[in-house]
């Protein structure tokens, strides 16, 4: 899945997805929930745990 496809499915911008992926920006919880749902995974699977 491309960043653009993920962004479209999650209802966020492609640039937002790119910034999260590159580490330039941390994601807001509400946006991360949408991205997780679009990927079919739990939110916990997207969050780096110490």
Tokens of residue 8, six digits = 């479209």
Query: Average pLDDT, stretch 40-47?
Result: 89
Determine the pLDDT at residue 3. Answer: 96
Residue 42 banded pLDDT, cuts 50, 70, 90: very high
> DSSP 3-state assignment of 19?
helix
| Residue environment code for 3-32, b if the CB has 16+ CB neighbours within 10 A, otherwise e | eeebbeebebeeebbeebeeeeeebeeebb
d(CA 18, CA 4): 9
Q: Are 18 and 12 in contact (CB under 8 A)?
A: no
Class of the 3-44 domain?
Answer: mainly alpha
| pTM confidence score | 0.84
Residue 45 banded pLDDT, cuts 50, 70, 90: confident
Flag whether pLDDT at 46 surpasses 90: no
């Amino acid at each position: 899945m491309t960043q653009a496809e993920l962004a479209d499915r999650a209802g966020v911008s492609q640039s937002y997805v790119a910034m999260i992926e590159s580490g330039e920006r941390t994601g807001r919880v509400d946006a991360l929930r949408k991205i997780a749902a679009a990927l079919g995974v739990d939110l916990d699977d997207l969050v780096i745990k110490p």
